[in-house]
Amino acid sequence: MSSHTQVPVPHFIRNIIEADLASGKHTDVATRFPPEPNGYLHIGHAKSICLNFGLALDYQGHCNLRFDDTNPEKESEEYARAIQEDVQWMGFQWQGEVRWASDYFEQLYGFAVELIKQGKAYVDDLSAEEMREYRGTLTHPGKPSPYRERSIDENLDLFQRMRAGEFADGAKVLRAKIDMASGNINLRDPAIYRIRRAHHIRTGDAWCIYPMYDYTHCISDALECITHSLCTLEFEDHRPLYDWVLDQLAVPSHPRQIEFSRLELRYTITSKRKLLQLVTEQHVSGWDDPRMPTIIGMRRRGYTPQGIHEFTRRIGISKSENVVDMAVLEACIREDLEARAARVMAVVKPLKVTISNFVAGESQSREAGFHPEHPEFGSRIVPFSKEIWIEADDFTENPPAGWQRLTPGGEVRLRYSYVMRCDEVVKDIAGNVIELRCSIDQDTLGKNPVGRKVKGVIHWLSAEHALPAEIRLYDRLFTVPEPDNDKTRDFCEFINPASLTVVQGWVEPAVRDAVPETHYQFERLGYFCTDRHEHEPGRKLTFNRTVTLKDSWAKDPG
């Protein structure tokens, strides 16, 4: 079941699809999501997932999940499994079985043979360095390889021997014969097969030659009868090659490649290589660290699929630069959790308060609903006792102007409970406040005091009933909006030293049995989620801060 239920937002790709359906060019819509299983997916992939699967749903078509597994050294089953889980967690389901580029290796080989027979591909012996030299520059045309005019028979023989493993890795490549003088460098006889002895996650050691991405992708699309092949703008210059390959071959369809701008999210990075660096250098605890922009990390932090969908809807699809502030993503998550998360109280910096006039059996606990707008969420008893915890930040001896919380001699309302006055401040020998002695107005449970107005309301917990919890306060991973923009410095220098603070706090007894991935609003503190892996209901309570209650970062001038 998809959580993709938002009203569609018009954009240029949707316009193309609707024109194609209206003209009869296509009777249905077939898209694909084609990740390489060489890392975990991130927020940029989430945009692509929502686009490809979302369009297929909107037009009652289908979307394939196809792994681009043409680069065996960097690929793993772990990544492939994680990608499938991410897509399903996002609320989508691909058509039929998972597909792999390797499903088509035999056909891809056959099509390469066909290009050789047409005189449109040749085996080249130039080294990678020599090929670069021969390729020319943006202002100078390339020059033909001395092996470009090999006969068809010689090329067929050499290509078959490449497959048979006669030559060393890198000794030869198969190149398409297009145009060495083309203004588009991608058309200057691109390599379409290389020799690489690497164990493949699906085909094992059956192959020692592997097709290149540009060659593989367009043929895979065509074999699957994809109608609209959507990719990011860096592939725009590759589109002529996509079309050239398909124009030479007897394939069942010719999909249309359409490019859109990739997502750049401020205060984070989305380069797979740099994300891997964060993991391997242990700047984070792993790919699913809640500070990571990976889908698995966002999930562990407590982001919701619905919030991510709304984010991708809000930022839109276009060809113009798509640099988005982190505050936009956080706002979408906050808005989704506002309606979804039960509200409870927690204390992260506890200060002990003793109620001097507490009377056992007379001073009462009170029932409170879990959400003011959702009575169906139910309610719980908020227990009251002689000793309570309040937030240390809610008390000061030197209140600034406008302070509406607790001060010596001042009063506040305890949320869902009595009005309380601070009568005495207890300090240790260093002068630190370690306890407050307070009294309650017994006549204020559920009603206002007579003759005076109490402005402030603070959260609190009964010390007798509160449960200990590990509370992880997450913040942005980087201190600057574009951490990898400065080419003279390592992006890791900009890691925010305060991106994670772990505190031992207290929570209401009502959350004792919450299962992993349960969302709460801790009143006045933010939205939190029970950890996927290190939270054990009734035994070890671990909460990750998903997002604060309001944007605590100044808006970017940019």
Residue pLDDT, tens place only, 85-112: 999 999 999 999 999 999 999 999 999 9
Active site residue 447: no
373: number of Cβ within 10 Å: 8
pLDDT tens for 274-309 read 999 999 999 999 999 999 999 999 999 999 999 999
The yes-or-no verdict on residue 82 having pLDDT over 60 is yes
Give the tens place of pLDDT for each residue, 449-487. 988 889 899 999 999 999 999 999 999 999 999 999 888
Ranges in the chain annotated CATH 3.90.800.10: 105-215
pTM for this one? 0.94
How many residues are there in the chain?
558
Q: Is 470 a catalytic residue?
A: no
Q: How far is CA 88 from the centre of its chain?
A: 14
Q: Which fold has domain 262-343+468-558?
A: Ribosomal Protein L25; Chain P (2.40.240)
Residue 236 half-sphere exposure, CB side, CA atoms within 13 Å? 8
Summarize the confidence of residues 143-148 as an average pLDDT. Answer: 98
Alpha carbons 306 and 55: distance in angstroms, whole number: 16
Which one of 1.20.1250.20, 3.90.1150.10, 1.10.10.10, 3.90.800.10 gives the CATH number of domain 105-215? 3.90.800.10
DSSP string spanning 182-229? -SSGGGSS-EEEEE----BTTTBTS-SEEE-HHHHHHHHHHHTT-SEE
> What pLDDT is recorded for position 1?
39
Beta strand 419-427 with 379-382 is unpaired
Distance, CA of 178 to chain centre: 39
pLDDT class for 554, splitting at 50, 70, 90? Answer: low
Marked catalytic residue, from 148, 196, 262, 421: 262
Reply yes or no on domain 346-458 having CATH 2.40.240.10. Answer: yes
Which residue is catalytic, options 36, 224, 391, 411? 36
Question: How far apart are the C-alpha atoms of 509 and 504, rounded to whole Å?
Answer: 16
Q: Which among 172, 239, 272, 299 is annotated as catalytic?
A: 272
In 3D, which of 462, 459, 456 has the Cα closest to residue 407? 456
Q: Is 272 a catalytic residue?
A: yes
Residue spans in the chain of domains classed CATH 2.40.240.10: 262-343+468-558, 346-458
